[in-house]
A = this chain, B = another copy of it.
Amino acid sequence: MSKFVKFSKLRSATDSTFWAKFVELKIDKFKLDEKSISIWGSYGLQSLNEDNSNPLTLDFTSFNEDVETVDNSLSVLCCGRMINTNTFEAFRQINPEKFIDSMGKDVINSIQDGTALQSPWKLSLFLVLAYSDLKKYKFYYWVAHPTPLRLPEMYYEESPKSINEEFRAKHVEDLCQGFLQLDSRTKNYFTVLLSEGDKMIIVDLATGVKAINTSNEKQSQEYNEIYFAFYDPCATSNPGWPLRNLLCLLCWHCPTYYFSKVIKFISIRGNKAQKSLVFAFRSRHYENYKNERDSLFLSNLVGWESNLNDKLGPTIVNLSDTMDPAKLSDRAVNLNLKLMKWRLVPHLDLEKIYNLKCLLLGAGTLGCAVARVLLGWGVNNITFVDNSNVSHSNTVRQSLYSHQDAVKHKYKAYAAKDAVLNIRPSINAEGVVLHIPMPGHVVGESMLESTKKSLEKLEELVENSDVVFLLLDSREARWLPTVLCAAKNKIAINAALGFDSYTVQRHGTRNFTNPISPDLEVRNPRGVDLGCYFCNDVTQPGNSQTDRTVDQQCTVSRPGLSQIAAGLAVELLITLLQHPLGIEAEALVRRDNISPSDTDLVGLLGCVPHTIRGSLWNYDTHLTITHRFTSCTACSVPIVAEYKNRGLSFVLDACNMPNYLEKLSGLEQILKRPDLDELCYALDNTSDDDEDDKKI
């Protein structure tokens, strides 16, 4: 008895771009979906291994939905199905036999319903079972090339020949040319006919099968010789694994032929088919071959690859070491954020947050803590403004600075910039050393030029920002930024600390075309009617630094407070950004009776208060409202109009002239009104006095 045909098994190879692309899709598109996805694999014809074997390659193009977009002229394409489990546990618990049986059914179906005759790539279906550790860039995967276990056995009729032995040179050339001209997806399987006129013709499987069955019926052949060809990535003396499904197809569609004739196969090998072999096989003789055919697909499917240890089992790829750290970091940075979209907040607009331009005025305790939370949210543009240096007492509270920054007396603005770059190298960070002009801090002749430059720079910075955080260490330092934010209508977020209490606030918007007073009766005012930090003051901000002892100069606050206030400040901003009304969102006051359908109040991430006050004395928080005040010394129409008209000279007057702002805003007039008490009562009823919450 002649030799029984064995098949060389297949090997696949994933390159790192495959997994990188997969991670991207998993995070952004598939998310929790564990359903199988269609992918492509290819045998590259240009880059064979030294032994001429050719692995099925999976790379970033494997996920292309439209296969036409792949440059496939020099490759053989196979279609595949991939399942990636969400957990390692699920991956481990999948039974490989059941998996290949159920997922591989498509091969059987394509043979039985004949679609494989026209779409030969369906015969070379491969399967990928994977679990991807998205945090650690570690991938567990296992590839199968499903084919029925019980294939009616074939035996060598003669020894394999090279095509040069089988064919004359012209036919060899025709074969090679013909193979290369086939579409990538039909290079897997095709039929080679030698016609009566001794011409070599390359046709598809359907034509080959039809030719055989016609000959069978008519008892006369329309061809001299018929060869079934398959692309064979294996390089042993045995035919490769892809032949198995071809045999099944022939067994199913031409059973008489299959069980009675010698069948010739061309195993296409080498990058131009020049190393191809010709096999001649014959089936065992069966009493009732029809039974054999019918039971063909009753057996289980097989075809799992061995891993690098030559064992049946998954391969583990660890890409965390090989990927570019900066890129890895950039992807990883967003992982936690993108995971939010999987389940919790599918409509979260991370692009908006990424692109946000944040200006942090003050890089002290609050500035550092705010920057940390912005980093956590993936904000990509942060500018720090501060004019002081890192001192030794800062480092334990100001979370961006190290002991060395203090030793070197680095400017906080620069040290903060360096620190965020050290955390996320790709971030767009800037540091500006700048002194902010302040009411009550007289600007003398000698400081005129530097004040002019400071104002110009600050105007430019505010203009180029989307959000301005007021994190400065005095009340009066927040005045000019408040004026600028009102004039340029930027979002302003304000945070201030006491010893054991904090205030976090968003400033209202300013619409100067309709400057009527806000309706104090509205329960949840919109952004346009909300006040700024100065809206419930009855005096203009002044010099609070003069004559303050050191425990008043540095904010002496409980260390946990700045983290809490900074956390709330950034979350307030993010909630606001993700609210359909944005900065105009209605301000939440009380906490009862929030209806999720009230979309003016409730946004994607919840509600947006105007002012949050909290205390560590009794762990209480309050949400309060301050209405826009038409005589505010910072954001009212007369103030902003004068700033727009006079710029620097307005700012100088504000710094140098006592009560200038009170006069200009109309506050002075109000304070002279006989009905002042009633007025104050009305103001008090709509807002708490927040003086105690500010610096002690």
Binding site for B on A (CB under 8 A): 32, 86-87, 89-90, 133-136, 320, 325-326, 328-329, 331-333, 335-336, 339-340, 342-344, 369, 372-373, 375-378, 391-393, 395-397, 399, 401-404, 406-407, 409, 422-425, 499-500, 546-551, 553-554, 556, 558-564, 566-568, 570-571, 574-575, 588, 591, 594, 605-607, 609, 612, 614-621, 623, 696
Most buried by B among A553, A560, A574, A588: A560
Contact between B571 and A558, CB atoms less than 8 A apart = yes
Q: Shortest distance in angstroms between A362's beta carbon and chain B's nearest beta carbon? A: 16
Contact between B403 and A329, CB atoms less than 8 A apart = yes
23 A–B contact pairs at CB < 8 A? A136-B391, A320-B391, A329-B403, A333-B393, A333-B395, A335-B393, A339-B556, A342-B549, A342-B551, A343-B696, A369-B563, A375-B396, A375-B397, A500-B605, A560-B568, A560-B571, A563-B563, A568-B616, A571-B616, A605-B617, A606-B615, A606-B617, A621-B621
Contact between A547 and B618, CB atoms less than 8 A apart = no
Contact between A568 and B559, CB atoms less than 8 A apart = no
Contact between B550 and A339, CB atoms less than 8 A apart = yes
Contact between A391 and B332, CB atoms less than 8 A apart = yes
Contact between B559 and A564, CB atoms less than 8 A apart = no
Q: In the bound complex, what is the Cα–Cα distance between A588 and B570 (angstroms)?
A: 29
Q: Which one of B344, B499, B594, B616 lies within 8 Å of A618 (CB-CB)?
A: B594
Q: In the bound complex, what is the Cα–Cα distance between A22 and B574 (angstroms)?
A: 47
**Chain A interface mostly:** mixed
Contact between A570 and B574, CB atoms less than 8 A apart = no
Contact between B425 and A546, CB atoms less than 8 A apart = no
Residues of B within 8 A of A399 (CB): 372, 399
The answer to whether residues A402 and B422 also contact, given A329-B392, A336-B397 and a CB cut-off of 8 A, is yes
Besides A332-B406, A561-B571, 19 other CB < 8 A contacts?
A87-B546, A87-B549, A135-B553, A320-B409, A325-B406, A336-B556, A339-B550, A339-B554, A372-B399, A373-B560, A395-B424, A403-B423, A558-B574, A564-B568, A591-B618, A591-B620, A607-B618, A612-B619, A619-B623
Contact between B567 and A561, CB atoms less than 8 A apart = yes
Residues of B within 8 A of A135 (CB): 391, 393, 550, 553-554
Most buried by B among A133, A344, A423, A617: A423
The answer to whether residues A605 and B594 also contact, given A392-B333, A563-B566 and a CB cut-off of 8 A, is no
Looking across the interface, which residue of chain B has its beta carbon closest to that of A372? B399
The answer to whether residues A378 and B391 also contact, given A570-B559, A619-B621 and a CB cut-off of 8 A, is no
Q: Which one of B89, B325, B343 lies within 8 Å of A407 (CB-CB)?
A: B325
Contact between A556 and B344, CB atoms less than 8 A apart = yes
Contact between A424 and B396, CB atoms less than 8 A apart = yes
Q: In the bound complex, what is the Cα–Cα distance between A403 and B329 (angstroms)?
A: 8
Q: In the bound complex, what is the Cα–Cα distance between A633 and B117 (angstroms)?
A: 65
Contact between B89 and A547, CB atoms less than 8 A apart = yes
Contact between A393 and B332, CB atoms less than 8 A apart = yes
Contact between A423 and B407, CB atoms less than 8 A apart = no
Q: Which one of B375, B391, B549, B556 lies within 8 Å of A340 (CB-CB)?
A: B556
Residues of B within 8 A of A616 (CB): 568, 571, 575, 605-606
Contact between B376 and A397, CB atoms less than 8 A apart = yes
| In the complex, the 9 A-B pairs of residues with the closest C-beta atoms, listed nearest first | A376-B559, A332-B392, A560-B567, A606-B617, A86-B549, A332-B393, A563-B567, A339-B551, A560-B571
Contact between A329 and B406, CB atoms less than 8 A apart = yes
Residues of B within 8 A of A392 (CB): 320, 325, 328-329, 331-333
Q: In the bound complex, what is the Cα–Cα distance between A412 and B48 (angstroms)?
A: 44
Residues of B within 8 A of A606 (CB): 500, 615-618
Looking across the interface, which residue of chain B has its beta carbon closest to that of A343? B551
Looking across the interface, which residue of chain B has its beta carbon closest to that of A375? B396
Looking across the interface, which residue of chain B has its beta carbon closest to that of A426? B403
Most buried by B among A375, A393, A548: A393
Looking across the interface, which residue of chain B has its beta carbon closest to that of A594? B618
Contact between A393 and B424, CB atoms less than 8 A apart = no
Looking across the interface, which residue of chain B has its beta carbon closest to that of A323? B392
Contact between A566 and B560, CB atoms less than 8 A apart = yes
Residues of B within 8 A of A335 (CB): 393, 554
